[in-house]
Structure 1
Amino acid sequence: MQKKFSTESIKELRSKTGAGMTDCKRALEASGGQIEVAIESLRKKGLAFADKKASRVATEGLVESYIHSGSRIGVLVELNCETDFVARQSIFQQLAKDIAMQIAACQSVQYVSKEQIPDQVKQYEREIQMQREDILSKPLDVKDKIAKGRLEKRLQELSLMDQNFIKKSEITVEELVKQHIALLGENIRVRRFERFILGEGLVTKNSNFSQEVSSMIANK
């Protein structure tokens, strides 16, 4: 016999996930009333349909910020969804926070996905790989194959969606987003981000104190 749950419990799960009332009720029944287990169940459910939702227009959402301890690194990220209702859900907001933190942690990441990397950047990276000393003397077909594999690895380093999620390394950021698409029932996408590093791009004075003192003494 299935256990019945109060309307308050169902509403709480819906508030945390944005999932439909019926789905929330079933998830609670299957989890024995454990909210966190029910959330995980909803997250896993329907992942096969995440790709279909990815083509839907997503113009709502939020801009999230993250400032790392010490205030030397900051990130702004825009995370989109389809409705304001989902944008207000705590689980969507937590996703935005996690992605902002991920960007701060992954200094090599410059683009949202490999598809966003410009062709000229891909060509530049390929030329670098083709000129690596350890493969210069190899036959062209072998060199090309090795360079192709290394290029793919390099493009993954530049792509946010290809990174292993820092809180759960067995999944990528792309898989994390797909889990939330399945959970919330809407398309979700990282549109853009900006990373700020204190002093980046500034010319700093790199003086040697001992040399400076020696110079002052010599000029007296």
Structure 2
Amino acid sequence: MTTQISANNVKELRNKTGAGMMDCKKALQESEGNMEIAIETLRKKGLASADKKSTRIAAEGIIESYIHIGSRIGVLIELNCETDFVARRIEFRKLAKDLAMQIAACQNVSYLSTADIPKELIDRESRIELAKEDIFNKPSKIKDQIIKGRLEKRLKEMSLMNQAFIKNPDITIEDLIKQHIALLGENIKISRFQKFLLGEMMEK
């Protein structure tokens, strides 16, 4: 016997997940009316399709700002989506604010992803690791493994997408964006960001 689902429950689930009405109704029926299980089911399906959406053009969006307490750190970020409708959604705007706060909190973050880090900088970091005294007497193969591991860690520290989300360290920023792609049904991407530190351009 099919579980009867009220229109109010379907609407509530749609508001929480952004999924279509029929998908919400089906998820609630499959979970026998359990809202949490239905949300988990829809989000799993959404995350599976997030990668497909990530290639679509995202030309709408917003520019968000964040000024940290004390007004010594500021961030500007451009977050894009596919439609003006999603750009106005409170979930999208909250995501932009969270991302700006994340950038302000991460001292070493300068690039969106490790793929954006210039080769010259990667080569410099490799030379620094190679010159460290603690690996001088290591066998060549071991030395290469140590340098590779340290370099990967260093590059991830500089990449926003690899950071643990400050409000939920169990997920990365990349995971956070994919969750919102699933929630809002559109491609979402960070086009650019800039961090401002008070006095950083001045000689002291």
User: What TM-score do you get using the length of structure 1 for normalisation?
Assistant: 0.80
Q: Which runs of 5+ in 1 are unaligned?
A: 205-220
CA contact (8 A) 1:67 1:75 kept: yes
Whether 2:83 is the aligned partner of 1:83: answer yes
Greater radius of gyration (CA): 1
> What is the CA distance between 1:11 and its match in structure 2?
5.4
CA contact (8 A) 2:5 2:33 kept: no
Q: Which runs of 5+ in 2 are unaligned?
A: none
Looking at structure 2, the residues matched to 116 and 33 of structure 1 have their Cα atoms a distance apart, in angstroms, of 43
User: What TM-score do you get using the length of structure 2 for normalisation?
Assistant: 0.86
List per-residue Cα deviations over 1:104-142 (Å, max 9, x = no partner): 100100001011111111111111111111112223222
CA contact (8 A) 1:79 1:191 kept: yes
Moved >6 Å (runs of 4+)? none
Which secondary structure state, in structure 2, belongs to the residue aligned with residue 199 of structure 1? coil
Relative to structure 2, which stretch is displaced further, 20-29 or 65-74?
Answer: 20-29
Whether 2:181 is the aligned partner of 1:195: answer no
Mapping for residues 83-122 of structure 1, pairs under 5 Å? 83-122=83-122
Query: Residues 70 and 5 of structure 1: is their aligned pair in 2 closer, same or farther, counting only changes over 3 Å?
Result: farther
Which secondary structure state, in structure 2, belongs to the residue aligned with residue 128 of structure 1? helix
Amino acid at match of 1:92: F
CA contact (8 A) 1:5 1:33 kept: no
Give the equivalent residue in structure 2 for 1:54.
54
CA contact (8 A) 1:87 1:93 kept: yes
Looking at structure 2, the residues matched to 58 and 49 of structure 1 have their Cα atoms a distance apart, in angstroms, of 16
Query: Residues 150 and 175 of structure 1: is their aligned pair in 2 closer, same or farther, counting only changes over 3 Å?
Result: same
> What is the CA distance between 1:25 and its match in structure 2?
4.0
Give the equivalent residue in structure 2 for 1:210.
none
> What is the CA distance between 1:89 and its match in structure 2?
1.2
Give the equivalent residue in structure 1 for 2:3.
2
> What is the CA distance between 1:149 and its match in structure 2?
0.5
CA contact (8 A) 1:45 1:183 kept: no
Looking at structure 2, the residues matched to 92 and 38 of structure 1 have their Cα atoms a distance apart, in angstroms, of 22
> What is the CA distance between 1:21 and its match in structure 2?
2.9
Amino acid at match of 2:136: L
Amino acid at match of 2:127: E
- Percent identical: 61
> What is the CA distance between 1:31 and its match in structure 2?
8.5
> What is the CA distance between 1:10 and its match in structure 2?
5.1
What number of residue pairs does the alignment pair up? 202
List per-residue Cα deviations over 1:67-126 (Å, max 9, x = no partner): 111211111111111111211111111111111111010010000101111111111111
Amino acid at match of 1:119: K
Give the equivalent residue in structure 1 for 2:160.
160
RMSD, aligned CA = 2.4
